[in-house]
Amino acid sequence: MTKLYNDPAEFSDDQLEGFVDLYSDRLAQVPGGVISLPPKTPQVAVIVGGGSGHYPAFAGLVGPGFASGAVVGNIFTSPSAAHVYSVAKAADQGKGVVLTFGNYAGDNMNFGIAAKMLKAEGIDTRIVVVTDDIASDPDFQKRRGIAGDFTVFKAMGAAAAAGKSLDEVERLGNLTNLRTRTLGVAFSGCTMPGATTPLFDVAEGQMGVGLGIHGEPGIRDDARPEAEELGKLLVRTVLKDAPDSPGGRIGVIVNGLGTTKYEELFLLYRTIAPLLREAGYEIVDPEVGELVTSLDMGGVSLTVLWLDDELEPLWTADAYAAAYRKQSAPLGTIEETYEATATSVDEESLVEASPAALDVAGSIREVARQVAELMRDQEDYLGEIDSFAGDGDHGRGMVRGSEAALTTIDEAPQKAGPSALLRAGGRSWAMQAGGTSGVLWGASLEAAANRIDDAADRLEPTDLVQAVRAFADSMVTLGGAKVGDKTLLDALLPFADALEESEAPLAEAWSEATRVAKDSAEKTSELRPQKGRARPLAEKSVGHPDPGAVSMAMILELIGQSL
Residues that bind Mg ion (rule: CB under 5 A) add up to a total of: 5
Q: Which of Mg ion, ligand ADP, none interacts with 546 (beta carbon under 5 to 8 A by kind)?
A: ligand ADP
> Measured from the CB of residue 541, what is the shortest distance to ligand ADP in angstroms?
9
Q: How far is the CB of 552 from ligand ADP (least distance, A)?
A: 7
CA atoms of 425 and 168, how far apart (whole Å)? 65
Provide the minimum distance between the beta carbon of 377 and ligand ADP in the complex, in angstroms, as a whole number. 17
In the complex, least distance from residue 384 CB atom to Mg ion, rounded to whole angstroms: 11
Nearest residue (CB) to Mg ion, 387 versus 466:
387
Among 92, 379, 393, 454, binds Mg ion (CB under 5 A): 393
Coil vs helix vs strand at 29: strand
Q: Is 251 in the site for ligand ADP (CB under 6 A)?
A: no
Nearest 10 degrees: Cα torsion 94, 174, 218, 268:
-100
Report the partner that residue 274 touches, choosing among ligand ADP, Mg ion, none (CB closer than 5 to 8 A by kind): none
**What is the spatial distance between Cα 77 and Cα 417, in angstroms, rounded to a whole number?**
72
- Judged by CB under 6 A, the stretch of 202-210, 256-264, 323-331, 542-550 that binds ligand ADP is 542-550
194, 480, 505, 536: residue in contact with ligand ADP (rule CB under 6 A): 480
What is the smallest separation between the CB atom of 474 and ligand ADP, expressed in angstroms?
A: 11
DSSP 197: S
Q: Is residue 366 close enough to count as binding ligand ADP by CB under 6 A?
A: no
Pairing state of beta strands 220-223 and 206-209? antiparallel
152, 130 Cβ separation under 8 angstroms = yes
Strand pairing category for 97-102 and 125-130: parallel
Question: For the purposes of burial, counting CB atoms within 10 Å of the CB of 497, is it exposed (0-12), middle (13-18) or buried (19 or more)?
Answer: middle
Asked if residue 379 binds Mg ion (CB under 5 A), the reply is no
User: Which residue of 34, 481, 556, 559 would you call a contact of ligand ADP, by CB under 6 A?
Assistant: 481
- Residue of closest CB approach to Mg ion: 390
Q: Measured between alpha carbons, how far is residue 320 from residues 38, 157, 169, 323, 450 in Å?
A: 13, 11, 19, 8, 58
376 contacts 439 by C-beta, under 8 angstroms: no
CB of 547 to Mg ion, least distance (A): 7
Residue 214 a catalytic site member: yes
Bond before 58 cis per omega within 30 degrees: yes
We find the least distance from the C-beta atom of residue 446 to ligand ADP, in angstroms, to be 16
Smaller CB separation from ligand ADP, 171 or 531: 531
Q: Which of ligand ADP, Mg ion, none does 287 bind, CB closer than 5 to 8 A by kind?
A: none
- b/e code 107-126 from CB counts within 10 Å (16+ = b): beebbeebbebbeeeebbbb
Helix 355-387 crosses helix 418-433 at what angle (to 10 degrees)?
20
Q: Which does 290 bind (CB under 5 to 8 A by kind): ligand ADP, Mg ion, none?
A: none
CB nearer Mg ion, residue 287 or residue 393? 393
Q: Is 507 helix (H, G, I), strand (E, B) or coil?
A: helix
535 makes contact with ligand ADP (CB under 6 A): no
DSSP 242-270: PPSS--SEEEEEEEE-BSS-HHHHHHHHH
Per CB under 6 A, the segment of 180-188, 353-361, 482-490, 510-518 that binds ligand ADP is 482-490
d(CA 302, CA 255): 6
Number of residues that bind ligand ADP (CB under 6 A): 25
Residue nearest to ligand ADP (CB): 548
Rank residues 391 and 526 by Cβ distance to ligand ADP and give the closer one. Answer: 391
Instruction: Kindly state whether residue 401 participates in binding Mg ion, applying the rule CB under 5 A.
Output: no
Give the C-alpha distances (Å, rounded to integers) separating 218 from 53, 131, 209, 300.
Answer: 18, 17, 5, 12
Please identify which residue in 63, 210, 217, 390 interacts with Mg ion, judged by CB under 5 A: 390
Nearer to ligand ADP, 430 or 489 (CB): 489
Cβ-based nearer residue to ligand ADP, 250 or 489: 489
Q: Binding to ligand ADP (CB under 6 A): which residues in 513-532?
A: 531-532
- Which residue, 215 or 390, has its beta carbon nearer to Mg ion? 390
At residue 299, the 3 state secondary structure works out as strand
Residue in 129, 265, 295, 549 binding ligand ADP, rule: CB under 6 A: 549
The DSSP element (H or E) to which 45 belongs, if any, is: strand 45-52
* Footprint (CB under 6 A) of ligand ADP, residues 368-397: 386, 390-391, 393-394, 397
User: Do the Cβ atoms of 159 and 118 come closer than 8 Å?
Assistant: no
Q: Minimum distance from CB of 143 to ligand ADP (Å)? A: 47
Q: Is 380 in the site for Mg ion (CB under 5 A)?
A: no
Report the alpha-carbon distance of residue 345 to residue 366 in Å, rounded.
17
Cα radius of gyration rounded to whole Å, the chain:
32
Beta-bridge partners for 300? 185, 256
- Binders of ligand ADP among residues 413 to 442 (CB under 6 A) are 435-438, 440
Choose, by CB under 5 A, the member of 394, 396, 400, 486 that binds Mg ion.
394
Say how far apart CA 364 and CA 51 lie, in whole Å.
Answer: 65
CB neighbour burial string for 340-363, b if at least 16 within 10 angstroms, e if fewer: eeebebeeeebeebbebbeebbee
Backbone angles phi, psi at 324, to 5 degrees: -145, 115
> Taking CB under 5 A as the rule, does residue 438 contact Mg ion?
no
Candidate ranges 96-104, 262-270, 477-485, 502-510; the one touching ligand ADP (CB under 6 A): 477-485
Please give the residue ranges that form the binding site for ligand ADP (CB under 6 A): 386, 390-391, 393-394, 397, 435-438, 440, 475, 479-481, 487-489, 531-533, 546-549
Q: Which residues are catalytic?
A: 214
Residue numbers of the site for Mg ion (CB under 5 A)?
386, 390-391, 393-394
